[in-house]
Structure 1
Amino acid sequence: MLRLALLGVVAFAGLVFAANPKAVDEVLKWQKVQFDLPESVTANPDGYIPINNIPMSGVHYKNRVFVTVPRRRWGIPSTLNVVDIAPPFPNTNPVLKPYPSFELNELRTDLQPDANRIVTVYRPRVDRCDRLWFIDTGMMEIPGNFTIVQRPSIWVIDLKTDTPIHRYEIPAKDVDSGYGLTSITLDVDPDDCEKVFVYISDLQTYRMLVYDHQNQKSWRFLHNYFFLNPLEGDFRIQGIPFSWDDGIFSIALSNPDPVSKFRTAYFHALSSNSEFTVSTAVLRNETAARRSYHGNDFQLLGYRGAQSQSSIHAFDRETGVIFFALIQQNAVSCWDTKKPFAPQNMAIIYKNDADIVYPNDLAIDNDGYVWFMSNSIIKLLYTQLNLDEFNFHIWRANIKQAIKGTVCDPTIRANVDAVQRFGESTGGDRVTFLEYKDKYGPGGGPFGGWGQTEQKRPGRP
């Protein structure tokens, strides 16, 4: 407890805190996002509108970082992009290159479906077999003018050749549209690159989609634990109060069990401070997805603590530590999965009140680093985004150095030996979940994620 108390004082006293400062590098930062584009695109008034381009991912692979810009407004020329990085860091205002080509990212002028193009990508992931996986939601999420361009699809790109090698169109039985499919998690067989299960969060309808790559099939699960906790849907970031109702947002996978070969899936809703688990033995079972009652297959793991709502989290297969992007604390925290799940057994590895304004993505690469990004989207939604300031940042932290000496370090004893669950400190033990209702946009409630005063673009129906 003393360790946590001291940590809180240090974090409050300054704008920037790191458990081990040398472990964290700021790699990329932008005032505004710019693209390597044909002149014909930039000359078009609708081709590129700087203020509307908000990056959503920073995924590292061999001196490249993949940066996505979802089409949530007009003037976004390319949704999937790449940046080449090189020290000294940070690289400032690097130009985004459409990946693997501008042609794949360019929309048809008539907005008709095209299986050879992508519309909106949020958070891609790289697997151990040198492949980039992502969801194309198929949607333009323009406030007041949501447009389903095509069916959502799962894409795979060979990173050695920069060539798309697979596309799976998600059937209507699994999702009505791609709206809300904002994060994916890869479950790759350690011995066979073709045996892959993909777990997809659907924050809008509070469901989890499962894709069996080898057999080209998909199905979805519904469970109360995918819903938000209505007691934890109020936020305050940069002094701005707002309410969100986002459900299941992130799924992290443990190492395979030595005997069963299945993994533990850790998951949570964005509007919640609790963490839940389920075995991938359940998720891989298409028959189990049809059950109306799941018994004890899904479990409440524990409570992260007040104001610990997390966007994305990820598991490090070498240390067994999970990292959380904490959106209200402008920070990244950690937890050693071998210790009881309780706030006292978690630590802040990096906090930056000046620059981490909504940490929206976090991923672990194959080199022992956790990468995380903040995109200041809260300012755009509810106040004003100033393109003369640095708004978008991507950091990396050496995992072993970052956790060294903290309670997340496997060599350090746990602070408490019991799991903490929501409500236990006040004597309550019930969590009520809100039923799903149609809404206009994830991340911002009824106004499509872009604020109450936003108007649709003149001249468009």
Structure 2
Amino acid sequence: MEKILLSLVLWSILATSFGYGQIASKAPLGTLYRWKQIDYEYPSAQARQQAINNRQFIQANVIPLGVERWKDRVFISTPRWKSGTPATLSTVPIGASTESPLLKPYPNWDWHNAVNCTGFTSVFRMSIDHCGVMWVLDSGQVDAFEAPRQLCPPTLYAINVETDTVLGSYPIPAEFVLQNSLITNLVVDSRDARCRDLHVYIADAWRFGLIVFRLADAAFWRFSHYSFYPEPLLSNYTLHGLNYQWSDGLFGMSLGKVQQGDRSLYYHSMSSSLEFVVKTSVIRDPARVSNSVGEFALLGDSRGANGQVSAAAIDRNGVMFFNLISRDSIGCWDTRKPYTTQNLVVVAQNNETMIFPNDLRLDHEVPQMGWIITNRLPMYQFNLIDPNAFNYRVMFLNPAAAVQNSLCQPEILKSPDNQGVLLVSN
């Protein structure tokens, strides 16, 4: 009951005030915080200035990438893609009084200043299980957009977010990290109420592989499949007049409900317009997966031109939400329905606030909320960020309101008169 009351209080905060604006409680999407440039909570003004003088903090080089939420905090990753990123995992409170709160390094500054691979190197994304353990994916690489250096092995960390205690670190064995691997995203699969039967699925976007971690014995294994590759034509992007090429393979992953002891893993390459599915019973068995090529299936229709998707997640009602990175949009699909263009719906779109929605997570609260990072990543990569504009946002999504009266609403099985905006029209 205490957890439900806390969630309702937080929802009331989200529904009414965000420090710099008012949002109606029925709004499907809103901005929690926004930044022109990222800043950190230093021990003192003198410590901050010293970091700037030593070029340990170069504000223009810091970009938020991953997002998660647990109770009254939002967790944000800032990978060390360029020099001058002083901390790579931080928190902000849900109810800050400013539109651009300072990031508080998590769990403390020591974890970001450690040497000999005893702390964080460059965190990409995080995924929190329902027991309150945050699984943190650290790439181990710095200066990826300047002069890449692999300082430490890619590592999976487990952190108890109730006590802010690091429970363990699990370096990915070298045999599963290929030359030029980009191990960039993860999703946690737990069937047990106490999170004992837990696996983590980790995507390698540049070497087109899926790495599986099993908590019970801390084992890893890796496999590849042709559906993990990018589509050549979808590797060419145009966003707000900027043309660029990315050949990113397997990236977005989301988990369906447990049914008869199994569940589906939906996945896609970033540079692709296709969605695939495989039963997790296949990938959770290292002996089976190598001989199960035919069990990886194409879902249905292509998302069409500019149909590239970064992250995706499925809510408690079985609705998938996904970031359309070339359309400044968020789409949805009811997983009970065929994956056809008629059933893919845009639930939010904004050419200013949603430029490159990068990460998307659904929390464990009641009511459940979605969390999105938008970060203008292509502009950041090519040094085109305007420091006088709001470039980075943490946004929230109300899943129930977002799909109301659309084909993504689970109750609607036939096309209504008001079916929302189709993702791809015939």
* TM-score range relative to shorter protein: 0.7 to 0.9
Do the aligned partners of 1:148 and 1:177 also contact (CA within 8 Å) in 2? no
- The within-5 A match list for 1:2-401 is 22-38=27-43, 39-40=46-47, 42-44=49-51, 45-86=54-95, 91-108=98-115, 113-114=116-117, 116-176=118-178, 179-257=181-259, 259=260, 261-289=261-289, 291=290, 293-302=291-300, 303-316=302-315, 318-367=316-365, 368-382=368-382, 384-401=384-401
Give the residue type in structure 1 aligned to 2:308.
Q
Q: Is the 8 A contact 1:325 1:362 kept in 2?
A: yes
Structure 1: which 5+ runs fail to align?
1-19, 417-424, 426-461
- Using the alignment, how far apart are the partners of 1:304 and 1:411 within structure 2? 23
- Alpha-carbon displacement from aligned partner over 1:279-322 (angstroms, at most 9, x marks no partner): 10110011134x3x534211011222331210000011x21000
SS in 1 for 2:60: helix
In structure 1, how many angstroms separate the alpha carbons of the residues matched to 2:64 and 2:175? 30
What's the counterpart of residue 412 of structure 1? 412
Deviation at 1:178, TM superposition (A): 8.6
Q: State the shift of 1:145 in Å.
A: 2.0
Contact 2:181–2:207 (8 Å) recurs in 1: no
Q: Which runs of 5+ in 2 are unaligned?
A: 1-24, 417-425
Describe the shift of the 1:274–1:151 C-alpha distance in structure 2 as closer, same or farther (beyond 3 A): same
Give 1:219 deviation, angstroms: 0.2
For residue 318 of structure 2, what is the amino acid of its counterpart? G
Q: Is the 8 A contact 1:198 1:212 kept in 2?
A: yes
Matched position secondary structure for 2:187: strand
Offset of 1:59 from its aligned partner? 1.2
SS across alignment from 2:353 = coil
> Aligned pairs, how many?
387
Using the TM superposition, give the Cα deviation of residue 190 of structure 1 relative to its aligned residue in structure 2, in angstroms: 3.1
- Letter of the structure 2 residue corresponding to residue 330 of structure 1: D
1:21-67, Cα deviation, whole Å (9 max, x unpaired): 72222111111100112444541332100000011022111121101
Could you tell me how far apart the structure 2 residues matched to 1:87 and 1:171 are?
40
Q: Distance in 1 between matches of 2:209 and 2:144?
A: 23
Rounded Cα–Cα distance in structure 1 between residues aligned with 2:67 and 2:146: 28
Query: How far 1:231 moved relative to its partner?
Result: 2.0
> What is the identity, as a one-letter code, of the residue corresponding to 1:360?
N
Helix, strand or coil: the match of 1:22? coil
Q: Normalised by the size of structure 1, how large is the TM-score?
A: 0.80
Q: In the aligned structure 2, how far is the partner of 1:372 from the partner of 1:284?
A: 28
Distance 2:65 2:414 in 1: 34
The answer to whether the 8 Å contact 1:344/1:415 transfers is: no
| d(CA) in 2 for partners of 1:142, 1:41 | 24
Letter in 2 for 1:195: D
Q: Secondary structure at the match of 2:268?
A: strand
Q: Percent identity over the alignment?
A: 29
Distance 2:179 2:65 in 1: 20
